[in-house]
Amino acid sequence: MTRISVLGGSGYVGGELLRLILTHPACELQLVTSRQYAGQPIHRAHPNLRGMGTHRFEEFNLEAVAAKSQIVFTALPHGKSLEVVPELMERGMRVIDLTADFRLKDLAAYKDYYGFEHKRPDLLQEAVYGLPELHRSAIKEANLVAVPGCMAASAILGIAPIVAGGLIDTTKIVIDAKIGSSGAGISPTIATHHSERSGGVRPYKVTGHRHIAEIEQELSAVCKDHVKVAFTPHAVNMVRGILTTIHAFTLQDLTDRDIWKAYRSYYHEEPFVRMVSDRKTLYGLPNPKVTVGTNFCDVGFELDPHVQRIAIFSALDNLMKGAAGQAVQCFNIITSMDERTGLNNLALHPL
């Protein structure tokens, strides 16, 4: 059994981490921190976990975490992991970080996209971007894994095989993401208030969204050339899930067979990427509804020869393959377990 601690366990991502860790056959939860809920049982923040042991939230104490943990998951607010992760690593712990604090390799990008000066460029170079489909071997040896942003993960998984195959113009990629309310986190704002969100579709951060930096970084590495994307997210009236639509323009005439070949060669051994392109079924293209609660990312496409376009669709649960499930998949890789361990659940239907 691996001794696990979770820092920042009272949010939506923290709750999903606890749900997965408490039922994982190789995890022994040691402690979980929350300033707001310190001293209270974990079901006070996560009522679905009632009856799952006697764990209580604790205040963060570095020495206690170091004494009890082998691997630490950090689900803190952006900017806070940077304060604690270096100290955890200095005490010999491996860290799986779910914030944005170590995702980017370019130091200047933190100033441009997050508005702060990153103080540990050494750890930026050491951190491994936690997307197993791209970095599996590096994740296995990593002391610091930086779990991707949820919309970035959806976009990258959707288009990486096409970029890798040199099939499109990598200077003109347009990405549209629609995300449920849980993506905004647990702290309410006027924009996430139900009466404002319900019944509408709200574009936000229309240009310059911070996930652009991740998407461009990872896709550029895939094709060993500079990739540029336009990205706009939309808040929609669902709780969980992301549907990402990607518009890419081909460099030559392509057939469905060409596209299928690119995806199959890239993902044929991936346990959590499912190709969905069946015009005879209700969900003939990816729909986040059938990924909720799972670690799957569903990917599909249609060719549009009229404008030499590939319309790519990618769907996942933002709290699972977009966060906690992805983190547990990385944990499984680090500990040399089957990647599917603790992640074999299927979505409910209907939901």
Site of tokens 């690593």: 89
Q: What is the pLDDT of residue 277?
A: 86
The per-residue pLDDT for 279 is: 77
Query: N- to C-terminal Cα distance for the chain?
Result: 34
Catalytic annotation, residues: 150
In this structure, the answer to whether residues 55 and 104 fall within a common structural domain is yes
pLDDT of residue 273: 98
Q: Output the pLDDT for position 314.
A: 98
Residues 6+ apart with CB under 8 A from 11: 75, 185, 186
Q: Are residues 114 and 213 in the same domain?
A: no
Is residue 240 within 8 Å of residue 318, measured between CB atoms?
A: yes
Confidence band for 208, pLDDT divided at 50, 70 and 90: very high
> 23 with 46, same domain?
yes
* Long-range contacts, stretch 168-171, CB < 8 angstroms, 24+ apart: 168/248, 168/249, 168/250, 168/251, 168/310, 169/248, 169/249, 169/250, 169/251, 170/219, 170/223, 170/225, 170/226, 170/227, 170/228, 171/227, 171/228
Counting the structural domains of the chain, the total is 2
Alpha carbon distance 240, 293 (integer Å): 9
pLDDT at 238: 92
| 321-335 pLDDT per residue, tens | 999 999 999 999 999
Residues 108 and 135 in one domain: yes
Asked if the structure places residue 127 within a domain, the reply is yes
Residues 25 and 97 in one domain: yes
- Domain of residue 213, CATH code: 3.30.360.10
For residue 347, is it within any domain? Answer: no
Torsions phi, psi of 318, nearest 5?
-65, -25
For range 157-171, the mean pLDDT = 97
In a domain? residue 97:
yes
Residue 343 is given by DSSP the state: -
Span 42-59, pLDDT tens digits: 999 999 999 998 999 999
Residues 249 and 312 in one domain: yes
Question: What pLDDT score was predicted for residue 299?
Answer: 98
Distance from C-alpha of 268 to C-alpha of 176, rounded to nearest angstrom: 26
pTM higher than 0.85 for the full model? Answer: yes
Region 173-185 average pLDDT: 93
* Residue 209 belongs to some domain of the structure: yes
User: Hey, is 150 helix, strand or coil?
Assistant: helix
What's the mean per-residue pLDDT of the chain?
95
Same-domain check for residues 75 and 195? no
Phi, psi of 208 (to 5 degrees): 70, 25
Asked if residue 115 and residue 181 are part of one domain, the reply reads no
Full residue range of the structural domain in which residue 185 is found: 151-316
Q: Over 80: is that where the pLDDT of 237 sits? A: yes
CA atoms within 13 A on the CB side of 307: 7
The tens digit of pLDDT for each residue in 261-309 reads 999 999 999 999 999 988 777 888 999 999 999 999 999 999 999 999 9
* In a shared domain, residues 184 and 267: yes
